[in-house]
Amino acid sequence: MSTHPRQRRLHRIAMVTVHTSPLAQPGEGDAGGMNVYVLEVARQLARRDIAVDLFTRTTSAAQPPVVEVEPGVVVRHLAAGPYEGLSKEDLPGQLCAFAAGMMRVAAHAPPGYYDLVHSHYWLSGQVGWLAADRWGVPLVHTMHTMARVKNLHLADGDEPEPRGREIGEAQVVEAADRLVANTDREARELIELYDADPARVAVAEPGVDLAVFSPGSRDEARARVGIPSDAVLLLFVGRIQPLKAPDVLVRAAAELVRRRPDLRSRLVVGILGGASGTGVRNPMGLTELAQQLGIADLVRFVPPVDRSALAQWYRAADLVAVPSHSESFGLVAVEAQACGTPVVAANVGGLPTAVGPAGVLVDGHDTADWATALESVIGDPRGAAVLARTSVEHAAGFSWARTAQRLAEVYADAMDHPREVPIHDAELLAGIPTAVIP
């Protein structure tokens, strides 16, 4: 809630990601696209001479307090509650401890060490709000996911986000100098569902590492990941939880086999990821579903892999399915397309932006509709080849360098034109003697 005018060029920012480390393996626990986003953006900002300190919670005794990722990018692990055994839902009770850790770091640094705070996800926003206010710098916040959006698109049997999260998000929206949305649609959701000031909402689309995710030989990729060269590989990549809807792909694959029995001898359904969120409560749910549908022998579960191996899986696939019920952007879709793999995705959230005209969008999650969409790709080799070419062209329009450049512009605007203190806050401060204001 800064009212300080910009006094110098932006040198260093404090980036806050409380609940998941940017160094964590995406696809495990709560790590996903946000982890990739935060780390890639930090690297690109550092290459623009904007140093980034990434604050995250310590989750293992083996984690060093400070990790230099590359010059200008430092990850700081802060103790906030037990290292292990805390779920994301437990973390609101640890925000005070986390904030105290940030204050201690700043106390040992020169005055004015941080020029701006950029928080990611609402838990980080609560801490970022305090830090920015204490340091007298702007707060920039990126939601990544929003409770009110998720609750509008719940999967069957999934649990709604709690009221406390909605309230916490609304507070961060009110406090932030700038709000960064991944897409125009997310920007509208911030304005319509959270009453955000349109003048304080900016869009910065995520990127993709085109040096890692690029087209390659499907046969070579299949040899590396152990998939037969003549297989029909339908691939899901992501955290295994109701929100991401891998069950939609499994059900659609069973329907495909029913329609086309000739596929049974060649079809492989790859599920690449780890249990997360409410999916942890029933880790065998997908396996049991595949057994009930009679295709357990066709489904292959693969634990999360590093980025180079992930690119091989994308290249090996005939298509990548992204059937999420809610998705702020859909990084998996762009990564797959960058590898020249057609994408079939749910027509929700940011996926229309991520997929663009290069993929197939499916309205809803009906099994028959999804089976038809999958069949439209694997049953039409010529059309699939066209999708592959247009996918590469579409993905080339996304880059982390562009994302970082847009964020740098948002940071500069926040420093040059900070949000004014609301009238009720100004009246409150007016009654306090200046000497006691820190």
Residue 268: CB partners within 8 Å, gap ≥ 6? 227, 228, 231, 232, 233, 234, 298, 300
pLDDT digits (tens, 9 = 90+) for 252-300: 999 999 999 999 999 999 999 987 654 445 557 899 999 999 999 999 9
- For residue 85, the model assigns a pLDDT of 79
Tell me if 389 is assigned to a ligand binding site: no
- For residue 22, the model assigns a pLDDT of 87
| Buried b or exposed e, range 102-121, using 16+ CB within 10 angstroms | beebbeeeeeebbbbbbbbb
pLDDT digits (tens, 9 = 90+) for 142-194: 999 999 999 998 887 788 999 999 999 999 999 999 999 999 999 999 999 99
Does residue 54 contact residue 38 with C-beta atoms inside 8 Å? yes
- For residue 8, the model assigns a pLDDT of 60
Strand order in the sheet with 360-362: 299-302, 267-272, 232-237, 319-322, 343-346, 360-362
Residue 433: CB partners within 8 Å, gap ≥ 6? none
- Diameter of the chain measured on Cα atoms: 81
> Can you state the angle between helices 400-416 and 33-46, rounded to 10 degrees?
70
Tell me if 327 is assigned to a ligand binding site: yes
Tell me if 33 is assigned to a ligand binding site: yes
pLDDT digits (tens, 9 = 90+) for 358-371: 999 999 999 999 99
| 191 compared with 429, residue with greater pLDDT | 191
Find the distance separating the first CA and the last CA of the chain, reported in whole Å: 14
CATH numbers and ranges of domains, the chain: 12-207+400-436 (3.40.50.2000), 218-395 (3.40.50.2000)
CA-wise closest residue to 27 among 214, 221, 244, 227: 244
Tell me if 251 is assigned to a ligand binding site: no
Tell me if 150 is assigned to a ligand binding site: no
Tell me if 369 is assigned to a ligand binding site: no
Place of tokens 């649609």: 185
Percentage of residues in the chain with pLDDT exceeding 70?
91
| 422 compared with 214, residue with greater pLDDT | 214
- For residue 434, the model assigns a pLDDT of 42
Tell me if 32 is assigned to a ligand binding site: yes
Tell me if 341 is assigned to a ligand binding site: yes
Does residue 252 contact residue 376 with C-beta atoms inside 8 Å? no
Question: How far is Cα 345 from Cα 203, in angstroms, rounded to an integer?
Answer: 22
Tell me if 305 is assigned to a ligand binding site: yes
